[in-house]
Each structure stands twice: as C-alpha cells, then as structure tokens.
Copies of this chain bind each other. A is one copy, B any other.
Amino acid sequence: MLMCNKERLQDKITTFSKFGDTGKGGITRLSLSPAALEAREEFCKRCKALGMEIKTDDMANIYATIPGDENLPAIMMGSHADSVKQGGNYDGILGVLTGLEVAETIVTEKIPHKHPITVVIWTNEEGARFEPAMMSSGVITGKFDKDVMLASKDTEGITFKEALEASGYMGEVENRMTPEKYRALVELHVEQGPVLEDEKIDIGVVEGVCGMINYEFTFAGQADHAGTTPMKYRKDALYAAVKTIQYLHDELDKLDSKLVYTTGKISAHPNIHTVIPDLVKFTLDARHQDPEVINQVLEIIKAIPKTVEKCEASFEKAWSRNTVHFHSEFVNYVEKNAKEFGYTTKRMYSGPGHDAQFITDIIPTTMIFVPSEKGHSHCEKEFTPLENCLKGANVLLQTVLDIDKK
C-alpha cells in the first residue's frame, strides 16, 4: 500500500514547533499572531514548492491545491494552525501537517488522482485570542455573523478585523469553501483524551461529534457571620450547591457509561472564610452522542427542587450543541483503510468541537483521530508519537484516494 514518509513528517512537525516555541516543549501560537503568521508563511512556501496553487478567502482561511480535473470539485484535508496559550505541537497543526505530507506523497510519488486535492488551514479554531472558537469555519458555514466576528477583540483591544487586515492573508469571499468547489473534508486530529492510548488503539474512527449541554446553576442563600449564626438559622448557598453536585453525580452515574459530565467552574460570594456564602454558582457540562441520553440528563437537571437546604435553586442553559454525525461512507473508508494497514481501530464520537463539525453541514466530512499521550492536550505536555502520526497520515492518504476514486 502507498505510504507517507516518516522522516519528512518528522521534519514538518519539528519545523512548525519552532513557530511560537515556549522553550518548554510547547507553543503559544494565538490566531494571526506573529508566530501564527510565520507558520502560515512556511506552509505556503512548502505548498508552492510542491506546485500547489494557494488561495485565501475573506476569513484568511488558506486553501492550497494540487490541480486535478478542473471540472471536478476538490477533496480537502487539513485543520487549524493556531494554538491556545502554552499549548502543544499536535492539536490542529497535525491535521495540517499530515495533509501536507499526503500532498507531498501524492506529488512526489506522482500518484494519479482525478479531483483537485486541497490542504486547508482554518483561521482561529481555538478562539483563544478572539472568541468564539471555530470562528472561520463557523462564518463560512453560516453559523456565525461575520460582522459580529470582525468586532471580536483580543485582550489588547485589537479587533479580529484589524488582525485580519494586517495579516496579509485576507482574500476574496469568492474563494470560500462551497459545495460546488469542494467534494469532501477529511480532518485528522489528536484525540485530546486518554482512550486510544489506554486501549492501545492506533486509529480513532470518528463517527461524529457528541452533543452537549452546558448549564449554570445558582443557589441564593443568606450571608451571615460564621461565628454568630447557629446552624439551624443558616441558608448556606455553598452547602446547597454541594448537595446538588452530589445529587447530579448520583443520578448521572446511573446513565449510559459513555456519558461524560463535568462541574468545572464554581464561585462563591462573598468567598470569605468567616461569612456564610449567600450566592454560589457552578456549571455542568454533559456530553453524549445519543440525544436520548442528553434528554435524560436534562430530566435529572429539571428534577432539582426550587429550594435546596433553604436556598433558592435555579439553573439556566448556557449553551448546547446537537450531536453531529459524519458521512458514514467516509467513516467506513477510514476504518477499512486502517484495518488494511493492520492498525487497531475504535469507532468513537469526539467530545471536543472541531471545524469539521461545522463543515459537515455543507460538504461530506469525516475525521481521523490519533492517540494523545496520557490524554494531555491544550498544554505543553501534549504529545503523539511519530509512529502514530505516520499511521494517521497513511490512513488519511488512502481515504483521500478512496474518495477520489468514487
């Protein structure tokens, strides 16, 4: 079977790890920052050397294309090149670099193909500098209002519009990905969780992106002096919150074992050791691929009484997303190809969001996951062994060629 080149892939990973290098094993490569622009320049230089044609759209998404039959839509690979603050060398960029390696393999091995083949960089996936995340894939698929996005500011007060205009990568609206011009997207990404490594799986066959709900809970009690208020008089909002978190754990643990839920954020007011808290808030994030399970979570939330430990309890939805299912035929290609290479596979749904979940609304899309060592991600310790990156690239190559043949 056709395969990518290990040394070349290593060189790509090493080279790009310099752009935004924190000196501690990771990178800070916020969207459209000088470090991100260096990475874009290197990407374009390498694509041009392979004879690829480069276009950018009005959101600075980069499309680098190996020509094919000009009457056929292109097949896309790729991901994002920006990172969170003190992030790792794999999240996003590995999808770009394996895409580039597949392109290099196709060009240097002169592998025949009918469709044009494009490697894409989506602008500002992380939302770490300009909120929200997945901004540019969101704009071109109609999820976000472009004017609102252009007004998004970083911590220094620079708008996304200003950063876009200064970047040199802002192109034409006509260059946006459309179903007429593009046939498919295959996005390779690191798992960002521990399952593949723990179960010794080479390739995560990603069936979709889990639906999720995010709720904020509020408990209103009475702030009183810790030393003067007998227990029976108290309306302790923190204890009401504790009781409710325990209730949520007890009930949610009875649901399907694939459900993940998290109380990640908590705040207490006035948060003084000698004052009984009068206002406590916490969040619940819950994810599962089956909307029925998400509904069960909702029922459990709705069963919280209006009064908990004499405190007023309330909750409201902060945000949610429905489960996204990728193109089943492409999902099958990924699985078949991985197995033909002799790689172990596991079908799974992505917990985190990815550009692919927006793109799939417009064109047939799928994803390939490779293991994250110890599940670390969004940190400098993020790591995927080269061998696993190469396996992912090989499956990506074969899947793109399968789509091309269809």
Q: Chain A: residues with CB nearer than 8 A to chain B?
A: 191-195, 198, 210, 212, 214, 223-231, 233, 236, 238-239, 242-243, 245-246, 249, 253, 257-268, 271-277, 283, 285, 287, 318, 350-353, 372, 375, 377-379
Residue in B closest to A286 when the chains form the complex, CB atoms = B226
A253 CA to B245 CA in the complex, in Å? 20
Dominant SS among interface residues on chain A: loop
Q: Which of B225, B258, B275 contacts A375 (CB 8 A)?
A: B225
A277 CA to B266 CA in the complex, in Å? 10
A228–B375 touching, CB < 8 Å: yes
B273–A226 touching, CB < 8 Å: no
Assuming A266-B238, A351-B225, is B273 touching A257 (CB within 8 A)? no
Q: Specify which chain B residues have a CB less than 8 angstroms from the CB of A259 in the assembled complex.
A: 231
A192 CA to B271 CA in the complex, in Å? 19
Residue in B closest to A195 when the chains form the complex, CB atoms = B230
A352 CA to B263 CA in the complex, in Å? 34
A258 CA to B233 CA in the complex, in Å? 12
A265 CA to B351 CA in the complex, in Å? 32
B198–A260 touching, CB < 8 Å: no
A373 to chain B, nearest CB (A): 13
A135 to chain B, nearest CB (A): 17
Q: Which of B192, B253, B267, B273 contacts A283 (CB 8 A)?
A: B273
B287–A262 touching, CB < 8 Å: no
Q: Specify which chain B residues have a CB less than 8 angstroms from the CB of A272 in the assembled complex.
A: 264-265
B266–A268 touching, CB < 8 Å: yes
A226–B276 touching, CB < 8 Å: no
Residue in B closest to A264 when the chains form the complex, CB atoms = B273
Residue in B closest to A376 when the chains form the complex, CB atoms = B224
Assuming A272-B264, A272-B265, is B233 touching A287 (CB within 8 A)? no
A183 CA to B399 CA in the complex, in Å? 94
Q: Can you give 8 contacting A-B residue pairs, CB < 8 Å?
A: A191-B228, A194-B224, A195-B228, A225-B377, A228-B351, A229-B351, A231-B261, A239-B263
A369 to chain B, nearest CB (A): 10
A225–B285 touching, CB < 8 Å: no
A350–B195 touching, CB < 8 Å: no
Q: Which of B225, B262, B268 contacts A226 (CB 8 A)?
A: B262
A340 CA to B243 CA in the complex, in Å? 48
B266–A273 touching, CB < 8 Å: no
B224–A193 touching, CB < 8 Å: yes
A223 CA to B264 CA in the complex, in Å? 10
Q: Specify which chain B residues have a CB less than 8 angstroms from the CB of A224 in the assembled complex.
A: 193-194, 375
Q: Specify which chain B residues have a CB less than 8 angstroms from the CB of A230 in the assembled complex.
A: 193-195, 257-258, 260
Query: Which 6 pairs across A and B sit closest by C-beta, in order of nearness?
Result: A227-B351, A193-B228, A226-B262, A273-B283, A228-B351, A227-B352
Q: Specify which chain B residues have a CB less than 8 angstroms from the CB of A377 in the assembled complex.
A: 225, 228
Q: Specify which chain B residues have a CB less than 8 angstroms from the CB of A212 in the assembled complex.
A: 227
A226–B318 touching, CB < 8 Å: no
B264–A192 touching, CB < 8 Å: no
A212 to chain B, nearest CB (A): 7
A203 CA to B195 CA in the complex, in Å? 66
